[in-house]
């Protein structure tokens, strides 16, 4: 391990990439600790203790929400915009053709639309959050000018974080958005450990033992499932050109058990934070609308409702995201063009049906695994009576941490291997 770390820092390009990522993360943490004016710290703490979904969202923004910082929305609006654009590619044929047929250029156009859509989403979410905070007494009432300047400031913070994430993806190592979420989670770990030590209670010893066992189990499960694959064998027909014989080889199509990674959990958390905020905002309207909004708000605060909704969204988003990123029809067509075939299956439509059948079976296992790990903290909290936040690192957070570490490690290893081949 020490030898590999030394080797990484000996390679100038790789060293620059890693230092660049660390520099961008340092800027992110500075922004996360620049607060907006007019905050009541005690009321803000009570607010996040009352609404668990905002507590979840706060963890994935790196604690920017409970600090009421200029980047309090984190990358939430950008992720929401990406979700909307990917949904639209399945609704509008023109966008679908752009995404699938124009290759990398089409994907860049879709990404550009997502960036542009981030701005109005950030404005709406900021206005909703500020209004909700005012209604809850978390911040002082804002005048029109102060409200507009606050909305613009937080929106600019979100756009700046989006830019940092894309810079990390372009000039650093790994996926920028995932790495920034990873950094936000890690930043909260020392505070969580401190709270656990200060609030130590011997009566909760069984709960902490369950936490440790659960954490080890989830880490092992994440590594196992992330590395697990279902291989579909593929053979290529022999072709004779002149005196040379081409093809005749055998390979396979690897299908990951969890091909969507941590994206479904991020999508689900982004969507689940919206309905409670809208319900609380409308509850202040009074009359029939206010009464309905209050009833919906109380319903959404039920931990059972949150747990089932979270499980269902993660399960569905696993299928949805895989459907967007992996198309069995394209795979079957490419195999046919290159003279490849699955043994025992005719090329074309039968191959597509065969791949889709295997993919759906693999996805069912992967989606159940992902959704179960996502709701594991709620399950433990229900059994032990310990608050969900204390066990948050045992569920989705540890999944993201392990997944990002594995992905980044694989990319670094690929860079090292590429340079070894160049030296040979």
* Count of domains observed in the chain: 2
Residues 185 and 209 both lie in one domain: no
Q: Rounded to the nearest 10 degrees, how much is the dihedral formed by the CA atoms of 365, 368, 374, 380?
A: -110
The whole-number average pLDDT for the span 283-308 is 69
Radius of gyration of the chain, Cα coordinates, nearest whole angstrom: 24
* Structure-token pair, residue 80: 């929401």
Interatomic CA distance for residues 269 and 264, integer angstroms: 9
424 pLDDT above the threshold of 60: no
Mark whether 130 and 5 lie in a shared domain. yes
Considering the domain architecture, whether residues 380 and 422 belong to the same structural domain is answered as yes
Do 90 and 111 meet the contact criterion of CB atoms below 8 Å apart? no
Output the pLDDT for position 277.
Answer: 63
Residues 237, 162 share a domain = no
Provide the pLDDT for residue 238: 66
Cα dihedral across residues 189, 191, 197, 199: positive or negative: negative
Higher pLDDT pick, 58 / 387? 58
In the structure encoding, which two tokens stand for residue 264, read together? Answer: 């479904």
Cα–Cα distance, 282 to 65 (Å, whole number): 21
* 81 and 144 part of one domain: yes
Q: Which of 238, 240, 263 is nearest to 250 (CA)?
A: 238
Answer yes or no: do 64 and 47 share one domain: yes
- Burial group, residue 368, by CB count within 10 angstroms (0-12, 13-18, 19+): middle
Where is the domain boundary, 198, 226, 260? Answer: 198
Q: HSE of 64 in the Cβ direction (CA atoms, 13 Å)? A: 28
Last residue of a domain, one of 160, 181, 198: 198
Looking at the fold, whether 237 and 381 belong to one and the same domain comes out as yes
Give me the domain span that covers residue 307: 201-424
Query: Is 0.85 topped by the overall pTM?
Result: no
Q: Are residues 175 and 210 in the same domain?
A: no
- Structure tokens of 163? 């830019």
Confidence band for 391, pLDDT divided at 50, 70 and 90: very low
pLDDT tens for residues 5-57? 676 777 777 788 888 888 988 898 888 888 777 666 677 767 766 666 666 66
**CB count in 10 Å sphere of residue 210:** 17
pLDDT, residue 52, reads 60
- Strand order from edge to edge, sheet including 229-236: 250-256, 229-236, 340-341
> pLDDT averaged over the chain?
76
Beta-strand ranges (E) seen in 281-380 are 340-341
Tell me the β-bridge partners of 246.
Answer: 239
pLDDT above 50 for 249: yes
Which of the listed ranges 28-37, 180-189, 235-244 does the model predict with the highest average pLDDT? 28-37
What CATH number does the domain containing 300 carry? Answer: 1.10.3370.10
Whether residues 184 and 206 fall in one domain: no
- Which of the two residues, 214 and 71, has the higher pLDDT score? 71
| Residues 306, 238 within the same domain | yes
Of 182, 198, 214, at which residue does a domain stop? 198
Share of the chain above pLDDT 90, in %: 1
Which whole number is the average pLDDT over 311-321?
85
CA-angle at 199, arms to 197 and 202, nearest 5°: 90
With a CB cutoff of 8 Å and minimum separation 6, the contacts of 410 are: none
Pair (178, 293) in one structural domain: no
Same domain, 146 and 278: no
């Amino acid at each position: 391990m020490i030898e590999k770390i030394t080797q990484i820092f000996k390679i100038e390009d790789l060293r620059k990439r890693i230092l660049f990522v660390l520099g961008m993360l340092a800027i992110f943490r500075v922004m996360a600790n620049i607060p907006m004016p007019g905050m009541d710290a005690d009321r803000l703490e009570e607010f996040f203790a009352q609404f668990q979904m905002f507590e979840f969202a706060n963890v994935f923004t790196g604690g920017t929400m409970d600090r009421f910082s200029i980047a309090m929305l984190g990358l939430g609006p950008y992720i929401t915009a990406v979700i909307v654009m990917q949904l639209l590619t399945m609704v509008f044929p023109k966008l679908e053709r752009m995404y699938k047929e124009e290759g990398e250029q089409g994907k860049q156009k879709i990404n550009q639309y997502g960036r542009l859509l981030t701005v109005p989403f950030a404005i709406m979410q900021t206005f909703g959050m500020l209004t909700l905070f005012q209604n809850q007494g978390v911040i002082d009432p804002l005048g029109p000018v102060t409200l507009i300047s606050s909305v613009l400031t937080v929106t600019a913070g979100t756009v700046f974080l989006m830019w940092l994430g894309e810079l990390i993806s372009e000039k650093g190592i790994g996926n920028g958005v995932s790495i920034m979420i990873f950094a936000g989670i890690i930043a909260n770990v020392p505070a969580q450990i401190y709270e656990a030590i200060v609030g130590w209670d011997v009566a909760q010893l069984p709960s902490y033992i369950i936490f440790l066992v659960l954490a080890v189990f989830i880490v092992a499960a994440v590594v196992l499932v992330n590395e697990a694959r279902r291989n579909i064998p593929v053979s290529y027909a022999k072709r004779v050109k002149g005196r040379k014989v081409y093809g005749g080889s055998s390979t396979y199509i690897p299908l990951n058990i969890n091909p969507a990674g941590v994206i479904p959990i991020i999508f689900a958390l982004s969507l689940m934070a919206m309905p409670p905020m809208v319900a609380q905002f409308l509850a202040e309207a009074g009359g029939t609308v206010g009464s309905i909004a209050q009833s919906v708000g109380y319903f959404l605060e039920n931990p059972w409702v949150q747990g089932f909704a979270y499980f269902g969204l993660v399960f569905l988003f696993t299928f949805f995201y895989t459907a967007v990123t992996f198309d069995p029809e394209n795979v079957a067509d490419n195999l046919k063009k290159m003279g490849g075939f699955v043994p025992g299956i005719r090329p074309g439509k039968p191959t597509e049906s065969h791949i889709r059948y295997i993919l759906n079976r693999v996805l069912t296992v992967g989606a159940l695994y992902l959704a179960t790990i996502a709701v594991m903290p709620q399950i433990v909290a229900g059994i032990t009576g310990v608050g969900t936040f204390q066990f948050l690192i045992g569920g989705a957070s540890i999944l993201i941490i392990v997944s990002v570490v594995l992905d980044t490690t694989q990319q670094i290893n690929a860079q090292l291997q590429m340079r070894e081949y160049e030296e040979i």
